[in-house]
Structure 1
Amino acid sequence: MPQNPSASRSGDIAPSRYPGQRLGLPEEGRGSVGRAGRRIGALVIDWGLAYLISWGLFRHDGTADGWTTLGIFALMQIVFIPTIGGSIGHRVFGMRVVALKGGWIGIWRPIVRTLLLCVVVPALVWDSDQRGFHDKIAGTVLIRA
């Protein structure tokens, strides 16, 4: 019976050397896990765009409403992930969201991922592959394009 080289004698999976190794992704370059700096930059761009749209179309007393901005942010994620492979911020920073098992990401994954992202806390809980809980539940991974 072949042994898993990443398993120890106790049956535990050995720690990976880099984020994405357990997922079969390369260590760096195209197809590697999108790192924190790029992810935060993409989030800033996406939130900024959502804020500008909210401010331009729905402002009250000279300011944008937070719930409207959140709704626009969520809508942008749900529309752009299955159509262009990621949000505008993801694409600007050279990343895309893919289904872990391959193929088209579909509609339900972006919806689940976005709802959990909007709750914020699941996005702050990461595993050793630098995948947030929102990506784990949706079966997605954010990779460099």
Structure 2
Amino acid sequence: MNTDFLQHIKWNDDGLVAAIAQDATSGRVLMMAWMNAESLQISVETGDAVYWSRSRSKLWRKGESSGNVQKIRAMELDCDGDALLIQVEQLGGIACHTGRQSCFYRRLNAGDWQTTEAVLKDPATMYQKVDKS
């Protein structure tokens, strides 16, 4: 696969680029995550969104434990080359680890953050620990 597209990205000092996932049908912003060159290349090759988890310092295949996979429909690079907009089909309708459709579910109103979106699925049921015994 030709990887010349990676050279056009302005990676931050940690080798990451901001990636905004947007529902390809509704246009709703679902989440923001980080990608490194490897996760971006895998995403392009497979058509499934793969991100870089800063907290775990490893690749994060969206939906690997929850089943809420993101199928990439289009990808755009901003004018500065330092942010990606990824239009996705969100399988399961849930992008947020809190069980909501979007990670952007709190709105500032009169100085307070108010929850504007209900939980669609209890996270405890999405992320059950697998017994490896």
TM-score between both structures, scaled by the size of structure 1:
0.26
Structure with more of its chain in helix, by fraction: 1
TM-score between both structures, scaled by the size of structure 2:
0.28
State the structure with bigger RCO (CA 8 A, min sep 6), 1 or 2.
1
